[in-house]
Structure 1
Amino acid sequence: MKFTVGQTLVYPHHGAVTVTDISPMTIKGVERETLTFRVHATELTIKLPADNAEDVGVRSVINDDGVQAVFSVLRGPAGLEPDNWSRRFKANEGKMSTGELHLIAEVVRDLWSRERTHPLSTGEKRMLLKARQLLVSELALARQATAEEAGELLDSVLMEAAGEPELASS
């Protein structure tokens, strides 16, 4: 993948990032091209050797087909999850760690659905917020929308999937 300053990408676990600098850096005696990313959702800055970017999952923002695939996952039936919260948490944590958007969408769909009928543990609440933030971040980029608009769109799709289209006004 070719990188340019100003390019917007997706960094797993952090969501949307912008390349703010590309410069050489000596690492263990070897000069390597290094990328600096600014994470959109936080004040975090990440430095990464350019040749490691794809290995850690840095990728382009999804296109319209990718958005539709995410919506398809969100509209799908909630997955069968263990009743034990720690097993459920571990399974969802595994999905989150992949950085794959369709798996993150599954976490949002399943935890959002579960929250409507059962209380979530504190850890699951945090996980739902993080997974939702990652989805909103990418949907905003893909749809050229604000984070608020993308959040409303996400909520709309989830409500529609739950059979509550009257609440889905977006």
Structure 2
Amino acid sequence: MPISLNVGDNVVYPSHGAGTIMGLSELEVMGRTQNYFEIELLKTGMQVRVPVDHAERLGLRRITPVDEIPRLLGQLVLPDMDLPAAWTPRHRREQTIMQEGNIYTIAHLVGTLHRRAQLRSLAVTERAIYEEAKHILVTEVMVALHLSFEDAKAKLEHTLDHTVMA
């Protein structure tokens, strides 16, 4: 059954983060008319269009429900992910995790990279993935719990700071 979304719904678009469906539009592309969700992204304020018929396949989903946030934050304290030791395959795996958009796996990656950063400096590209993953997680918590960005970030960082030695 396809996902049912409406104008005003808060959603997550993989690798872009949380946003709000601001409207629906109909566009003709290559002679074919399609309906699109118009989504305003929280991170940038940028608007993106996602074809309604392909929204689920593209990973568009509702924000994590409030009662799931403790389980989501619990991913931060799981034992570190088993990532390849070699840089290139590790980087590919981290990129794949981000592209797939599974918020629980992204949270697990945030916890793993946070602890790794406590032990040694992350490479520039790995730091960028860490920051992007953390931002996506913060916006998810922010929208789900109706917090300010700063409060959601503080909640996430509090959890991370108390699990470094886990």
TM-score above 0.5: yes
Distance 1:64 1:6 in 2: 17
Distance 1:159 1:98 in 2: 26
| Cα contact 2:26–2:33 (8 A) shared by 1 | yes
Q: How many Å apart are 1:125 and its aligned residue?
A: 0.6
Q: How many Å apart are 1:69 and its aligned residue?
A: 1.9
Gaps of 5+ in 2: none
String of CA shifts for 1:44-71, please: whole Å, max 9, x gaps: 2111221111110111111134212212
Two-structure CA RMSD over aligned residues (Å): 1.6
**Match for residue 149 of structure 1?**
151
Q: Which amino acid aligns with 2:115?
A: S
Q: How many Å apart are 1:30 and its aligned residue?
A: 2.6
Q: How many Å apart are 1:87 and its aligned residue?
A: 2.7
- Out of 62, 87, 90, the position equivalent to 1:88 is 90
Q: Which amino acid aligns with 1:67?
A: I
Q: How many Å apart are 1:84 and its aligned residue?
A: 2.6
**What secondary structure sits across from 1:116 in the alignment?**
helix
Aligned length: 164
| Cα contact 1:24–1:34 (8 A) shared by 2 | yes
**Match for residue 125 of structure 1?**
127
Matches within 5 A, 1:60-139: 60-139=62-141
**What secondary structure sits across from 2:43 in the alignment?**
coil
Q: Which has the higher contact order (CA 8 A, sep 6+)?
A: 2
State TM-score, norm by structure 1.
0.89
Distance 2:155 2:38 in 1: 30
Distance 2:29 2:119 in 1: 51
**Match for residue 167 of structure 1?**
none
Q: How many Å apart are 1:106 and its aligned residue?
A: 1.6
**Match for residue 37 of structure 2?**
35
Q: Which amino acid aligns with 2:144?
A: A
Q: How many Å apart are 1:156 and its aligned residue?
A: 0.9
Q: How many Å apart are 1:163 and its aligned residue?
A: 4.9
Q: Which amino acid aligns with 1:3?
A: L
State TM-score, norm by structure 2.
0.91
**Match for residue 54 of structure 1?**
56
Gaps of 5+ in 1: 165-170
| Cα contact 1:96–1:107 (8 A) shared by 2 | no
Of 100-109 and 88-97, more deviation after overlay is shown by: 88-97
String of CA shifts for 1:57-104, please: whole Å, max 9, x gaps: 111111134212212211112223333333322221121111000111
Q: How many Å apart are 1:29 and its aligned residue?
A: 2.2
| Cα contact 1:61–1:141 (8 A) shared by 2 | yes
Of 111-120 and 76-85, more deviation after overlay is shown by: 76-85
| Cα contact 2:22–2:38 (8 A) shared by 1 | yes
Q: How many Å apart are 1:162 and its aligned residue?
A: 2.2
